[in-house]
Amino acid sequence: MGKASKSLKSAAKAAPGRHTPALRAIKGGKAAAAKSAAANSAAKPAVKPIPLKPAPAVADDAPVIALNLPQAKLTPAMAAYFKKCQDRLGFVPNVLVAYAFDMAKLETFVAMYNDLMLGDSGLSKLEREMIAVAVSSQNRCYYCLTAHGAAVRQYSGSPLLGDQIVMNYRVARLNKRQRAMLDFAVKLTASPWSVEEGDRERLRRGGFSDRDIWDISAIAGFFNMSNRVASATDMRPNTAYHGQAR
């Protein structure tokens, strides 16, 4: 069996814990959270995680996207995954609901998402979310700014940092490494044809390995995809995101 499906299975088996922001720590568990905190501490020392408000009791019952695509029967792996989301986050992120008209599409999306955002990387989880938000800001994507803006607030413990990257990442007080990272991701988003060796060199001088450069590129690329699927389908974020980690 390929690794992709294995990661889905193990994700589905992971023990549920307290509520955490959508999709973010589903795969991780305690060890990952610890590691993430350590990684984040470079950026913002000693942040105290902001307690999440419980999701609103009433269901979001407006259509998730502007296309009429009836939900398919969940495969066992996906049913378990949705249940875990519900248990941990209090809701199933709408992007998953949107993809659930077709199990192959849902599974490949989840596998790629989890690998990029929760898998091994030299980038902290906060840094990956920062890329997600900076790219989504360039593309003005409502869904991704809302869901991943919440993630930046949660991982960083700073509502302010979340708002800054949503609005204009250049105003955030970033260290040189993170500024170089977001400059690269946003240039790659706005004018991919103009990215050249000089741009990679700037990342290397900022302390990034070639593997890190791949990860920055792949995450920036992934959100350039997701932004467009969301905009093309008028995807609506779960309302719970708006108030998370404020």
**Contacts (CB under 8 A) with a second copy, residues 31-90:** 66-69, 75, 77-78
Q: What angle, 0 to 180 degrees and rounded to 10, lies between the N-to-C axes of helices 76-89 and 3-13?
A: 50
Which region among 14-22, 33-41, 85-93, 164-172 touches a second copy (by CB under 8 A)? 164-172
> Is the CB of residue 8 less than 8 Å from the CB of residue 81?
yes
CA angle 132, 134, 135 (to 5 degrees): 65
Residue 94, C-beta contacts closer than 8 angstroms, at least 6 positions apart: 60, 64, 143, 235, 236, 237, 238
State in angstroms the smallest separation of the CB of 80 from a second copy. 11
Among 160, 175, 205, 207, binds a second copy (CB under 8 A): 160
d(CA 9, CA 11): 5
> Would you count residue 213 as binding a second copy (CB under 8 A)?
yes
**Residue 39 or 111 having the CB closest to a second copy:** 111
117, 152, 124, 158: which is closest to 137 by C-alpha? 152
CB of 25 to a second copy, least distance (A): 18
Nearest distance from residue 196's CB to a second copy, in Å? 6
Given a contact cutoff of 8 angstroms between Cβ atoms, the answer to whether 234 and 56 are in contact is no
Based on the shown chain and the rule CB under 8 A, indicate whether residue 190 belongs to the binding site for a second copy.
no
Nearest CA to 141 out of 220, 246, 68, 224 is that of 224
Note whether 238 binds a second copy by CB under 8 A: no
* Binding segment toward a second copy, per CB under 8 A, in 22-30, 40-48, 82-90, 212-220: 212-220
Task: Print the binding letters for residues 121-140 with a second copy: x by CB under 8 A, - otherwise.
Answer: ----------------x-xx
